[in-house]
Chain A
Amino acid sequence: MFNLRPLFALLSILTVSSVGAQALKPYQPVTGERLLEQDSDSWLLYRGSYDSHGYSPLDQIDRETVADLEPVWSFSTGLREGHQAPPIVNAGYMYVATPQNHVLALNAATGELLWRYVRYLPDDLQQFHPTNRGVALWGERAYLATVDSYLVALDAVTGEVDWEVAVEDYYSGYYMTMAPLIVDGVVMVGVSGGELGIRGFVAAYDAETGAELWKTYTIPAPGEPGSESWPGDSWKTGGVPVWITGSYDPELNLTYWGTGNGGPWMGDTRPGDNLYSTSVIAIDPSTGELKNHHQYHWNDSWDWDEVAAPLLIDYEREGQRVKGLVHAGRNGYLWFLERGAEAIDFVDATPYVYQDVFTSVDSVTGRPEYDMSKKPGTGYEASFCPSLWGGKDWPPASFDPASRLLFIPANENVCSTMVGEEVEYSPGRAYMGRGTSENGGFYVRDGADHIGELQAWNVDTGERAWTTTFDSHNWGPTLATGGDLVFMGGTNDRKFRAFDSASGETLWEYPTNSGVIGVPVTFTVEGKQYVAVQAGWGVDAQREQNLINMSQGTNTYVPQGGVVWVFALP
């Protein structure tokens, strides 16, 4: 077959004036040492550091000065839908991934465009989630996981395609929206497609050549450990995607990934625990071996993906230091686990939003028991809280190691109604088996006075420190800084805000062009601190807004269109 794709990709690079490039210093290759050092002048990883804290010690912008924060440049992406990627910054070079798989390379201080990669997507592609969550950097390349299921290596200086490989067949329902995770030259990606009857996996590629190194499925094949938790052939099409970048512990040499729910959505179609769905899994990046796991909840029937990677936080319990994993679950519980070379152990779990499904959580194993009247099934309609988007969906929490506070972007008071219907598997077709319920199966609890929340929890006491509420639902990823601030957008009023991390008080806000569902970052250029984020409402934030409008009789409109915003002090 004559393949035009590489040629298209090459021709689609927009080479622009090199004036901006002249103002930049030579490109600094990204090395394993630089990624481990957590150089705060750059923002080299999806969450800034391998531990996924989403924290920077930068403190020029602090609770005293933040009132003067102002935009210094902005850049329209020219695209609609969900702009969720963090601007990845390497010593003055900024890389922004967008929906439809464009990548913009910009001068981080001026916003000058250095190059643009445009991917030509197939006409017959379906995009359940039209978004991308960022590039990863290694050496002198930027790596992009695409919605048509390719991994693309771009020259970070010129934007030219160095290589690309097909990770899976998009026509069979596989797609990718995550930022890759790179450890020591190993580029790791996970796949989306839990709605389409895929079999989820994490795969690794050689950063230099693109050669596949390993592929680890999230559903065991017959005979493998855990395979007894899947009946019949359900393992072949059981979903369990991985669509958020994992964390990495260099001491244990383990990566930690959150996994999605099983498919079809109704648990009664696949009786059993369905390992390793709705779990955290630990994978050795050198070999791909799945070393250990913890399942947050078994036999999901609520579409509660637990894909957000746990934060690696060492916290106190009963006077002891615990090397921990902390995860604000889509199932509405805040999970504290202990990570080790041989096991992931349960420590404790607490609901952080109203949750009416779990009747108990085993104090030793962490296994929840359910109120089965709240568990939808095939032909059985049930209502449950939180909604299918959970107490927190993918938007990442952050952690301030100085104050010991974990910041959770949450949604309270929203619930779902679901009923299952029989569904037949066909490659690439919807394989959810969800029937139709009133108002799209969405409702707000009676008497609710708000939906969105930003919560702060002390990880050592396990207690909530404060909660700031919003009328709007909240899809805002968070950034914590050494300036005692938390940055977050996420609401339907287009605002990007800075909060006092000690109290939750709003200290600064700025109305952008659209809703802000992008991951915020901070960095410096020539000693000056900047905060950057993409505005660009879409995907599930917009879908939830549609359902709120339907159920509440409102007509809230949030404009779309992506813009990169960069803020600094005068």
Chain B
Amino acid sequence: MTNRTTLDRRALLKAGLGVGIAIPTKSWAQPPNRARPQPGDWLVFDGGENSGQRITPDLLALEQRPVAALAKDPATSTLRDGSRLNRVMITRLDPTKLSEATKPHAAAGVIAFSAVCTHTGCDVINWVEDKLLMACPCHESHFDVYNGANVVGGPAPRPLAILPLSLESGSVVVAAGFTGRVGFTQQF
């Protein structure tokens, strides 16, 4: 896979340079572990006693505290750990209680949310157990896991992106790319 980096138009306009200027560009091969999760990737635990193991619904307790997971390319065995933007937090929820918008992205109740807060990019690792809310340790943004990680508290401007999942021979695989932009958006 290759990726071409160019200066965006907005940067040029900001610099007052307009169009018609030659901008040096260079291509390079992006390491496969840096690429975002791809459809068909396996999902494996990232840390804990099952680290590296493929995720099956029975390895997750209902409404358990979300744990970290990463995608893994089954063809090359590449773990996509080259960017923190690739990390997701997974748990298992009651499919009958998922919001209609969230339900298609879960597999047997297993749901994966981007681990990166949309406020300033911190890892959303905390869990408010009695309210079933993911919580960011940096600025107390709270996300409702049954409702697409909608923001129910704190400064986050938008929900966490969902990584759609499906089941393949009983194991969880990535069904599609993230549903939205991962991480925070630089202002100005």
List the interface of chain A (C-beta within 8 A of B): 1-2, 4, 7-8, 11-15, 78-81, 100, 102, 118, 120-121, 123-128, 130, 171, 195, 424, 426, 428-430, 432, 434, 436, 440, 538-539, 542-543, 546-547, 550
A126 with B120: CB separation less than 8 A: yes
When distances are taken between beta carbons in the complex, the residues of chain B under 8 Å from A428 are 84
When distances are taken between beta carbons in the complex, the residues of chain A under 8 Å from B123 are 126, 429-430
Residue B47 CB within 8 A of the other chain: yes
Residue B121 CB within 8 A of the other chain: yes
Q: How large is the interface on B (under 10, 10 to 19, 20 to 34, 35 or more residues)?
A: 35 or more
Which residues of B, 74-112, contact A by the 8 Å Cβ criterion? 83-85
Q: How far is the CB of B132 from chain A (nearest CB, A)?
A: 12
List the interface of chain B (C-beta within 8 A of A): 5, 7, 11-12, 14-17, 24, 26, 28, 47, 83-85, 116-117, 120-123, 125-129, 135, 137-140, 153-155, 183-184, 186-188
Are A424 and B14 also in contact (CB < 8 A) when A126-B121, A128-B138 are?
A: no
Instruction: Show 9 A/B contacts (Cβ-Cβ < 8 Å), sorted by A.
Output: A11-B15, A78-B187, A79-B188, A81-B120, A126-B120, A126-B123, A171-B84, A429-B84, A434-B137
CA distance A556 to B147 in the complex (A): 25
Q: How far is the CB of B6 from chain A (nearest CB, A)?
A: 9
Q: Which 3 A-B pairs have the closest CB atoms?
A: A127-B120, A126-B121, A11-B15
Nearest chain A residue, comparing its CB with the CB of B117: A126
When distances are taken between beta carbons in the complex, the residues of chain B under 8 Å from A11 are 7, 11-12, 14-15, 17
B140 with A424: CB separation less than 8 A: no
**Of the residues B12, B17, B188, contact of A102 by C-beta under 8 Å:** B188
B188 with A127: CB separation less than 8 A: no
Q: How far is the CB of B38 from chain A (nearest CB, A)?
A: 18
B5 with A4: CB separation less than 8 A: yes
B122 with A126: CB separation less than 8 A: yes
Nearest chain A residue, comparing its CB with the CB of B6: A4
B122 with A430: CB separation less than 8 A: yes
When distances are taken between beta carbons in the complex, the residues of chain B under 8 Å from A4 are 5, 7
Q: How far is the CB of B48 from chain A (nearest CB, A)?
A: 8
Are A8 and B122 also in contact (CB < 8 A) when A102-B188, A546-B153 are?
A: no
A125 with B121: CB separation less than 8 A: yes
When distances are taken between beta carbons in the complex, the residues of chain A under 8 Å from B122 are 126-128, 430
Q: How far is the CB of B181 from chain A (nearest CB, A)?
A: 9
When distances are taken between beta carbons in the complex, the residues of chain A under 8 Å from B183 are 123-124
Nearest chain A residue, comparing its CB with the CB of B157: A80
CA distance A428 to B68 in the complex (A): 14
CA distance A426 to B81 in the complex (A): 12
When distances are taken between beta carbons in the complex, the residues of chain B under 8 Å from A440 are 140
A118 with B83: CB separation less than 8 A: no
Are A120 and B14 also in contact (CB < 8 A) when A8-B7, A127-B120, A436-B129 are?
A: no
**Of the residues B11, B15, B140, contact of A543 by C-beta under 8 Å:** B140
When distances are taken between beta carbons in the complex, the residues of chain A under 8 Å from B85 are 123-124
A128 with B187: CB separation less than 8 A: no
When distances are taken between beta carbons in the complex, the residues of chain B under 8 Å from A128 are 120, 122, 138
Nearest chain B residue, comparing its CB with the CB of A13: B15
A546 with B154: CB separation less than 8 A: yes
When distances are taken between beta carbons in the complex, the residues of chain A under 8 Å from B84 are 124, 126, 171, 428-429
When distances are taken between beta carbons in the complex, the residues of chain A under 8 Å from B11 are 8, 11-12, 120
CA distance A547 to B135 in the complex (A): 13
Interface centre among A7, A102, A546 (most CB of B within 10 A): A546
Are A426 and B47 also in contact (CB < 8 A) when A11-B7, A12-B15 are?
A: yes
Nearest chain A residue, comparing its CB with the CB of B86: A124
A430 with B125: CB separation less than 8 A: yes
B129 with A542: CB separation less than 8 A: no
When distances are taken between beta carbons in the complex, the residues of chain A under 8 Å from B129 are 436
